[in-house]
């Protein structure tokens, strides 16, 4: 799975909002494959990214589909 972002990248929702830091990718889980002990099926474009940010001094976090995010600043810059 090719990832659009890496840990430490700063991203923003395409619809706006605060700058957020990429924490990690969430591996998609195919529940039916786990239950029936089958190989995982292709999960399609729903690749989730866990992000964190601050609202004043309060840390916040959420998971987003990577297709809803734009890169603001690369961690390597």
Residue 49 forms part of a structural domain: yes
Residue 7, pLDDT above cutoff 80: yes
Q: Which domain holds residue 35?
A: 10-71
SS3 assignment, position 44? coil
Residue 5 forms part of a structural domain: no
Residue 76 forms part of a structural domain: no
Per-residue exposure over 19-55, b if at least 16 CB sit within 10 Å of its own CB, e if not: ebbbeebeeeeeeeeeeeeeeeeeeeeebbbbbebee
This prediction's pTM: 0.76
What confidence tens digit (pLDDT) does each residue in 14-58 have? 999 999 999 999 876 555 555 566 555 554 546 889 999 999 999
DSSP state letters, 16-38: ----EEEEEEEPP--HHHHHHT-
Domain count, the chain: 1
Residue 77 forms part of a structural domain: no
Token pair 């972002």 in the structure block, residue? 5
Residue 3 forms part of a structural domain: no
Residue 58 forms part of a structural domain: yes
Residue 4 forms part of a structural domain: no
């Amino acid at each position: 799975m090719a990832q659009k972002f890496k840990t430490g990248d700063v991203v923003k929702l395409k619809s706006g909002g605060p700058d957020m830091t990429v924490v990690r990718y969430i591996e998609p889980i195919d529940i039916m494959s786990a239950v029936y002990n089958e190989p995982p099926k292709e999960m399609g474009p729903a690749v989730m990214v866990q992000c964190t940010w601050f609202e004043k001094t309060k840390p916040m976090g959420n998971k987003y589909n990577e297709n809803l995010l734009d890169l603001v600043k690369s961690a390597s810059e």
